[in-house]
DNA sequence: AACTGTTTCAACCGCGTATTC
DNA sequence: AGAATACGCGGTTGAAACAGT
C-alpha cells in the first residue's frame, strides 16, 4: 500500500501549460499569494492541475525575475564549486544564483556543464567550435605550415583531444590557446579559474585533515602504500589564484582525489563509476560549510557562501 | 525532403522531511 | 506520541527542437 496520491490524477490535467493556465496562475498568485496551500490553489483558481504542478510552474517559470539559459562563466564557477562541495543539492546551489531555479541548474549541469568540464562535448558546442576554428583558420589565411602537421582533420576537429584531468596528468602545462580538451578549447568555454580550482581540489586539499568520514575507501584496508597521496599526506595548500600547487602534486593525485573523495564529489561518480551515498545529513555537511574548508576558500568568491549560516543557504 | 540521432528542458514522480492536529 | 497532510527536493522522463545524413 503506497502513499495516497496528492490529487485525483484522473481529473487533473498533465503536460505542458497553456498560456491561459499560466495567466490564471500568475495573476492569482500576484494578487493573492499562494495562501500557503498549494493543494487548494488550483481549485480556487479553477485550474485542473495538481497543486504540486502549480507550485513547480510558478517556481520554475512564472515567478518574477527568472532567468533562463545563458549561464555566465561566473555562474558556472559557482555551480561547480558548490557541486563539488555539497553535491547535487540543487536548491541550495540555486539559492546562491539569483534568478536561477534548481530545475534549471540541474538541467544545465546534466546536459551542458558536466560535459563541458569533463570532456564530452555537445554537438552544439562542437559546431560552434568548428565554426570558430574555421573562422580562425580563414583569418589566419592558413599560412602557418604547422597546419599541415597539426592533426586537424578535414572537419576541422583535431584528432588529438584531452580532457581536463588528462591535462592535469601531464603536469601544470599552461593552456595553449586553441588547445583542445576532448574537443574543447581551453580558454574558451572552460575558464582558467575553473581549471585552477580543479587542480587545487585534486592536489592541494589536505583531505586527511578534513573532518569528512570515509575519506579512505575500505578497499585500501589500511595499507598506506595503496592510498592516494591526497589521503595520506597533509600537502601544503597552494597559493591562492595560482596553479603552482599543481606542480607539487603528482598528476595521479588529482585523478585519485576525484575517485576517493566521495563526500566532496558526491554525484561525480558518473565519471568514475563509483557508488554514491545519498544519506548525508546536515550534521555531516556542516564541516564542509566551515570557512576554513579549503574547497570553499580555494574558489574565488566562494567564501561568502560558506561564511553564511546554513539557514542563509536555504537550510531548514 | 525525409529520416534518424542527439540535445534540451519542462514537467512528472516518488520519497524524505516538516507541520499540523 | 503518532498519524495525516503538505511541502520541497532530486531523479527521471518524454516531447519538441535541432542538426546531420
Strand B: list positions under 7 Å from protein Cβ.
6-15, 17-19
For A8: left if phi > 0, alpha if psi spans -120 to 50, otherwise beta; the answer is beta
Q: Answer whether any strand B atom is within 7 A of the Cβ of A124.
A: yes
Q: Which nucleotide is nearest to A62 (CA to C1')?
A: B10
Residue the block writes with cell 595553449: A176
Query: Residue A22: which nucleotide is closest by CA–C1'?
Result: B10
How many Å apart are A122 CA and C18 C1'? Answer: 12
Question: Which nt sits closest to A3, CA to C1'?
Answer: B14
Angstrom distance, A287 CA to B16 C1': 22
Q: CA A315 – C1' B19 distance (Å)?
A: 16
Put simply, whether the predicted model's pTM sits higher than 0.85 gets the answer: no
pLDDT in tens, chain A (316 residues): 434 556 776 678 888 899 999 998 988 988 888 877 888 888 888 888 988 899 899 988 998 888 877 888 888 889 988 888 888 889 889 888 888 999 999 999 888 888 777 665 555 555 555 555 555 555 554 444 343 333 333 333 333 333 333 333 333 333 333 333 333 343 333 445 455 555 544 433 333 333 333 333 333 333 333 333 333 333 333 333 333 333 323 333 334 444 444 444 443 443 443 333 333 333 333 333 333 333 333 333 333 334 333 333 333 3
CA–C1' distance A224–C20 (Å)?
52
Measure A139 CA to C15 C1' (Å).
41
CA of A130 to C1' of B4 (A): 22
Distance, CA of A159 to C1' of C20, in Å: 20
Q: Determine if strand B comes within 7 Å of the CB of A118.
A: no
Angstrom distance (rounded) from CA A66 to CA A84:
25
A4 touches strand C (CB under 7 A): yes
Residue–nucleotide distance: A5 CA to C5 C1' (Å)? 11
> Does the C-beta of A60 come within 7 A of strand C?
no
Contact, A114 CB vs strand C, < 7 Å: no
Residue A278 CB in 7 A reach of strand B: no
Amino acid at each position: 500500500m503506497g502513499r495516497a496520491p496528492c490529487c485525483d490524477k484522473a481529473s487533473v490535467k498533465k503536460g505542458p501549460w497553456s498560456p491561459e493556465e499560466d495567466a490564471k496562475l500568475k495573476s492569482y498568485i500576484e494578487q493573492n499569494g499562494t495562501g500557503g496551500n498549494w493543494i487548494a490553489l488550483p481549485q480556487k483558481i479553477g485550474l485542473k492541475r495538481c497543486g504540486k504542478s502549480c507550485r513547480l510552474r510558478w517556481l520554475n517559470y512564472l515567478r518574477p525575475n527568472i532567468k533562463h539559459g545563458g549561464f555566465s562563466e561566473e555562474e558556472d564557477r559557482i555551480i561547480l564549486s558548490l557541486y563539488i562541495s555539497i553535491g547535487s543539492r540543487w536548491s541550495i546551489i540555486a539559492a546562491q544564483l539569483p534568478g536561477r531555479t534548481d530545475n534549471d541548474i540541474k538541467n544545465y549541469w546534466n546536459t551542458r556543464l558536466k560535459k563541458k568540464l569533463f570532456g564530452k562535448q555537445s554537438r552544439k558546442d562542437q559546431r560552434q567550435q568548428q565554426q570558430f576554428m574555421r573562422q580562425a583558420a580563414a583569418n589566419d589565411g592558413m599560412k602557418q605550415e604547422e597546419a599541415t602537421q597539426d592533426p586537424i582533420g578535414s572537419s576541422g576537429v583535431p584528432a588529438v583531444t584531452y580532457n581536463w584531468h588528462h591535462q592535469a596528468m601531464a603536469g601544470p602545462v599552461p593552456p595553449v590557446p586553441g588547445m583542445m580538451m576532448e574537443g574543447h578549447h581551453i580558454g574558451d568555454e572552460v575558464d582558467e579559474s575553473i581549471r585552477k580550482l580543479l587542480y587545487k581540489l585534486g592536489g592541494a586539499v589536505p583531505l586527511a585533515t578534513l573532518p569528512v568520514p570515509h575519506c579512505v575507501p575500505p578497499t585500501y584496508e589500511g595499507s598506506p602504500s595503496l592510498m592516494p597521496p591526497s589521503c595520506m599526506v597533509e600537502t601544503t595548500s597552494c597559493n591562492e589564484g595560482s596553479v603552482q600547487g599543481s606542480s607539487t602534486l603528482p598528476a595521479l593525485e588529482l585523478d585519485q582525489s576525484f575517485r576517493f573523495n566521495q563526500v566532496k564529489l558526491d554525484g561525480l561518480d558518473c565519471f568514475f563509476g563509483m557508488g554514491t551515498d545519498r544519506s548525508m545529513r546536515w550534521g555531516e555537511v556542516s564541516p564542509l560549510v566551515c570557512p576554513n574548508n579549503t574547497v570553499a576558500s580555494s574558489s574565488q568568491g566562494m567564501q561568502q557562501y560558506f561564511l553564511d549560516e546554513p539557514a542563509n543557504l536555504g537550510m531548514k
